[in-house]
A = this chain, B = another copy of it.
């Protein structure tokens, strides 16, 4: 890290070529804020969509992208009481959602979206929008938690009542999905993982998948899932695609099953037949990351359960464009950028 000023990656318009390093002033923390020296930043697929102009068409420039970072507190505001200098913290992405119900309008205070992102050597968090990083994780591992892990945790441990021994079907092997798989194994759930790659499915088994389905060779993966569960269906599906894919998800569900809609990867619509939906008393729930208290609970669980995030590749702070490029390739595990 340079000693003169605050190095960042900043966009002046949409498109990866317009993401460039700049130097600015190190910010001053307000009375309730923390100044954090960034240690590592992880990427989510939505970061690429934002950089490409696909997700937030009315973004204000200049803009520093990405939402997930871990760092060390180097200064605190005059009124800060929850933290002290030297602690290692993660930023709460939906910064105005401490617990319980979300704010009436989401994403008015969201890191890497309405608020500035994390690709800076120094960032500022509100003290009410930060949590301690789990001591058992390295910086690189801890940086992966704020969106991918918390989304999986919230869908599984907060918005759904997990009954051990039940079955969960996890679509794909993206960041949220791999955390969901690790949580499922640790929570006593049977995880079925789908992918188009036998190689990735093998690695999913190593992470604790009970069963795997290659949806390329078995396009009727919903029927395959029913067969694996003696015709009963699975109790929970994490929907990562949307559109007609949700039809198969519905069909894969057991009576009283639950579909958590998480993904941004496919269609912008979701649709399914009403009659089986009513007859089986299905619940479909929309998920949007989670609140700070759930982040704290998750971190305690990660610590207690010894969960280690899966990292695909680590890039240096100078290689941000290469890191973004890697997202296209469908990594198995998170892409992380070190900031020091």
Contacts and interface: CB of A to CB of B under 8 A. Distances in A.
A162 interface: yes
A188 interface: yes
Interface string A267-302: 111111111011111111111100101000110111
Given A100-B291, A157-B163, A282 B285 contact: yes
A79 B100 CA distance: 24
Interface in A126-165: 157, 159, 161-165
A84 interface: no
A99 interface: yes
Given A165-B300, A183-B164, A101 B102 contact: no
A293 B97 CA distance: 12
A186 interface: yes
Oligomeric state, in number of copies? Answer: 4
Contacts of A286: 274, 277-283
Contact of A274 (B30, B31, B232, B242): B242
Contact of A190 (B107, B164, B269, B304): B304
A101 B293 contact: yes
Interface residues of A, number: 65
Contacts of A162: 162, 164
A22 to B, nearest CB: 27
A271 B274 contact: no
A69 to B, nearest CB: 23
Interface stretch (A60-68, A201-209, A255-263): A255-263
A79 B30 contact: yes
A203 B278 CA distance: 29
A331 interface: no
Interface of A: 30-32, 79, 98-102, 104-107, 157, 159, 161-166, 183, 186-190, 210, 232, 242, 255-256, 261-262, 267-275, 277-288, 291, 293, 297-298, 300-305
14 contacts: A100-B100, A157-B164, A161-B161, A164-B304, A165-B303, A166-B300, A188-B301, A190-B304, A267-B274, A271-B271, A279-B288, A282-B285, A283-B283, A283-B284
Given A106-B279, A164-B301, A283-B283, 13 more contacts: A32-B32, A98-B99, A164-B183, A165-B302, A166-B300, A268-B275, A270-B271, A270-B272, A274-B286, A279-B288, A283-B284, A283-B286, A284-B285
